Each structure stands twice: as C-alpha cells, then as structure tokens.
Amino acid sequence: MIINPAELDTHSVYKLLAGSVVPRPIAWVSTSSRQAELNLAPFSFFTVASREPPMLAISIGPRTGGEAYAKDTLTNIRETREFVINIVSVSLADAMHETAVNHAPEVNEFARAGVTPAASVVVATPRVAEARISMECTLEHMLKLGTDYLVVGRMQRFHIDDDLISNGRIDLLALDPLGRMAGNFTKVESLFDLPLADK
C-alpha cells in the first residue's frame, strides 16, 4: 500500500505517524507562567537534538481550535524561555495521564496529578520531585513547522536518582520508563544485544 499524506486529513496522517514512529519516549514538561502559575504536560514527540552542547527537542501541536488556543506549555516557554523535562517511570503513569487533560491555564497540574514541585538549580521552573530523572532546559530555538512548533532546549542540569547511575550509565530497567505506542503505552521488559544471530 502506498499512501500520499497530502490526500489525507490531518488526523488520519497523525494516526499513521503515531503508529509508525514507535516506541516513543515521553517528555513530561514542567513550565511556569510569568505569574508563577505551574503547568505540567506530557509530549511524546520528543528526542535528543544535539550531544554537544546537549539539547533536547519536543514538538508541540495546537490545542483543538488552532493557533489562537496555543497550549499552556508553549505559551509559558515563549514567555519565560525555560522548561524542565521529567522522565516518566511506569509508577508515574496515572499522574502523567492526569496532566494530559486540557486544564484551564490557572489550574496547577502538579496538584491535580498529586506530584511535588521541587526546586531547580538554573531555571525558575520546578521539576517533578517524584521523577527519577529531570533535565533543566533553557530555550535555544523555537521553529514553526506546519501546524506544530519544534522547541529545542539547551539542557543545563541533570537531576538523576543516585541508584540509577553506575559508571556513567543509566540503569534502564530500574528507571522503568514509560513509552508511547500509537494510542497505547509500553514499558521496557527486556534488553538484548545485536546481532541476534549470535544468540
């Protein structure tokens, strides 16, 4: 089957993309407004953008209703030029899911999700205390791409639980990261090396 995305509506293309680009990590992004109102929202269009200097990228789409209804995360990053990416472990899945709801800007998603804001070092925006890894970022680039915005942040500080790191590497099974699979979620249940022929 050959599909021309130009012949499909936006939602149909999104479903094909979300089901093809898998599994995806989840950036649980904490931001704050100029008035210090806290926001927390998950984004699975998320990756490393650069190793040196370290940069992370998230893609933020519009709320239903288009550009006039920009997501709070995007608005806050535009205003403050900073954010924190928290990594979601499976134990935080339900809390993360609560923050995926389109709450009003004045709603504190930290409180709604039952998680704790913890002080960052470089940025004013708090991180999620319960997240086993958090990364403080300052805005490097914001690029409009079609309906979405590509937000690239320069990573300023890691926060990593002591028991997760050994010889400079993360224990992935201990981290137990949550991943996105189209409309569902997944967890890391096994690790293996390649090539498989050697097994």
Beta-carbon count within 10 A of 177 CB: 19
| Residue 3 domain-assigned (yes or no) | no
| Residue 109 domain-assigned (yes or no) | yes
Domain that holds residue 112: 26-181
Three-class secondary structure assignment of the chain: CCCCHHHCCHHHHHHHHHHHCCCEECEEEEEECCCCCEEEEEECCEEEEECCCCEEEEEECCCCCCHHHCCHHHHHHHHHCEEEEEECEHHHHHHHHHHCCCCCCCCCHHHHHCCCEECCCCCCCCEECCCCEEEEEEEEEEEEECCEEEEEEEEEEEEECHHHEECCEECHHHHCEEEEECCEEEECCCCCCCCHHHC
Domain count, the chain: 1
Q: Which of 3, 20, 2, 27 is nearest to 135 (CA)?
A: 27
d(CA 174, CA 187): 12
Instruction: Note the pLDDT of residue 186.
Output: 96
d(CA 134, CA 152): 16
pLDDT in tens, 161-183: 999 999 999 999 999 999 999 98
pLDDT in tens, 74-90: 999 999 999 999 999 99
| Residue 110 domain-assigned (yes or no) | yes
| Residue 4 domain-assigned (yes or no) | no
d(CA 120, CA 85): 11
148 has pLDDT over 50: yes
Least confident of 54-68, 132-146, 159-173: 54-68
Q: What is the dihedral of CA 141, 148, 137, 105, to 10 degrees?
A: 130
Average pLDDT over residues 50-59: 98
| Residue 140 domain-assigned (yes or no) | yes
CATH of the domain at 33: 2.30.110.10
Q: Which of 65, 47, 69, 22 is nearest to 151 (CA)?
A: 47
| Residue 189 domain-assigned (yes or no) | no
Asked if 137 and 53 count as a contact pair (C-beta separation under 8 A), the reply is no
pLDDT in tens, 84-124: 999 999 999 999 999 998 888 788 999 999 999 999 999 99
pTM summary value: 0.93
The sign of the torsion formed by the CA atoms of 1, 14, 95, 163 equals positive
